[in-house]
Homo-oligomer: A and B are copies of this chain.
Amino acid sequence: MSRPARVTHASTRAAVLDLVRAAGMISRVGLVNASGLTGGTISTVVRGLIDEGLVAETGHAESTGGKRRVMLQLNHFARYAVGVHLDDARITYVLTNLGGAVVARISRPGSASEDPAAVVARMAREVDALIDSVGVDRDRVLGLGLVSAGSPGFGEDLERATGLPVVLDDDATAAAIGEHWSGGVGATATFAALCMGSGIGAGIVLGGTTYRGPGGQAGGIGHACLDVDGPPCPCGARGCLEVLAGPAAVVAQARANRSLARAAGLGRKGSAPVAADFAAISRAARQGDGRALALLERSARYVAAAARTLANALDLEVLVLTGPSFAIAGSTYLPVLREELDRAFIARGVHPVSVRLSPSAASAPAIGAAAIVLQSELVPRSQGLRLPDDLAAGEPPVFQHAR
């Protein structure tokens, strides 16, 4: 855990709040030890957090000296955040509480062929429905995190339409932050979240810190080269993972076999979003169609090779499969990736790579989007929007704000 250095009030507050969240229950002395802040600072910050209703005192724990200490815990229902994952096939909405737990979730058709104004208007209605479904007071909703594979380009419009502050981010990075924040991987883990929806991307966390790269473009594993003489990719190169074996490639291969296409219920090319067609093929494989299964297993070999390349480059400890397409087909991919990394990760003599399927793969990017809001919006707007890396005790996101 990084230690606060020169703390401003706002970032100290966010750091202390995140320590309380991560600990579950912790005493003021525990916060002093974990934060490196003085007892006086902790006392002041905690008083403020209690006054705002964010933290509550809750019983006592026996201290080593026999004296009983007041324990603190997060008031989970003091604030909420909306997380939205925008994909061609689906828009997934979650409402989480201050602890990051999902209290409402809805999933609606994607934005593939709608014009942006219509998407924004619909999303605003769907966000209203999400919040209303659990009767949460809108004043307690801190903001909305919107994540997607590319930039949606209508963050400001969505901010106006919903009246909520909007934070934009990459979906794979959000998925990684969600996995990290929910405690599914260790606080200082070095891991990648391999996120598959319509495409494939990676969210990267190195030693507990999100890595986005100088241009915010890190994790482009969908364009890992797996065949120098392979088919051309829209990115300008040849033989990229996505063009060889991503969801669109799997769908194209299935469609080339008319009998398989019919069995899987694929319509004409372009009649459905890629991730929806991919899901149909995955369902066919689950129901025993050997041709569909063979296509997924072929894809898995390529994904495994790209995952191995990434693990070898970054010395990864954990690889999490997540996103809507792994939610449905992950059980086919998981054993292939595990086998590849057990057999051929170059540092396997030093440590293994643990390969896991996210327990909430379909919602992980949306949950991560809400986590980014919680972390960012708890820092007062006037204090700027970036949590400094050395101050955020849990997860320091560097996010773009929509306006």
Contacts and interface: CB of A to CB of B under 8 A. Distances in A.
Interface in A239-296: 239
A403 interface: no
A69 interface: no
A351 B219 CA distance: 15
A340 interface: yes
Main secondary structure of the interface of A (DSSP, over half): loop
Interface string A314-325: 111100000000
A338 interface: no
A346 B239 contact: no
Contacts of A204: 313
A234 to B, nearest CB: 10
Contacts of A219: 313
A309 B310 CA distance: 9
B6 A217 contact: no
A305 interface: yes
A169 B215 CA distance: 30
Given A313-B310, A315-B216, A390-B2, A228 B305 contact: yes
Interface of A: 2-6, 36, 190, 202, 204, 206-207, 211-221, 223-228, 233, 235-237, 239, 301-302, 305-306, 308-310, 312-317, 340, 343-344, 346-347, 350-351, 390
Which 4 residue pairs across A and B have the least CB separation, nearest first?
A213-B315, A237-B344, A217-B347, A220-B312
